[in-house]
Amino acid sequence: MIDHVGLHTQQFDTMLAFYQAALAPLGYTVMMQFEGNAGLGRETPDLWISAAEGTPSRVHLALGADKHEAVDAFHAAALAAGGKDNGGPGLRPHYTPTYYAAFVIDPDGNNVEVVCHNG
């Protein structure tokens, strides 16, 4: 079980604002924040955004949703917050018959996915 994920960035304020907006439909809020670090989550801070002087993180980050509507809302919110479309909401039956997901590139170039496995 993964406890948390950290993204390192040279544009802390931009990334924090993006994730606050993009993940609000999933119930994510900033749960902890201190100089150059912020932890977002629903019950515990499981996504950390951290200021870094080095190379920004480049990851594929996939978060779960309980409903297709949450996937749709994430995609819309992420695009409105400055994300770039990397695959709109819809079924991805080549993964599994009920794999419903959307993909967005965040301001640092990370591929952010929200997926619902419920049919």
pLDDT average, residue stretch 58-72: 96
The Cα–Cα gap between 9 and 15 comes to 7
**pLDDT tens-place string over residues 12-61:** 999 999 999 999 999 999 999 999 999 999 999 999 999 998 888 899 99
Beta-strand relationship, 37-41 and 29-34: antiparallel
Tokens 């079980």 sit at which residue? 1
**pLDDT exceeds 90 at position 1:** no
Q: How many angstroms separate the CA atoms of 119 and 113, rounded? A: 17
Cα–Cα distance for residue pair 71/63, rounded to 1 Å: 10
What does DSSP say about strands 60-64 and 37-41: parallel, antiparallel, or unpaired?
A: unpaired
Please tell me the distance from the alpha carbon of residue 76 to that of residue 70, in angstroms, as a whole number: 10
For the record, the structure tokens of 108 come out as: 């640092």
Query: Which pLDDT score is estimated for 72?
Result: 98
Mean pLDDT of all residues in 78-101 = 97
Give the domain 5-116 fold.
2,3-Dihydroxybiphenyl 1,2-Dioxygenase; domain 1 (3.10.180)
Percentage, residues of the chain above pLDDT 70: 99
Residue spans per domain, the chain: 5-116
109: helix, strand or coil: coil
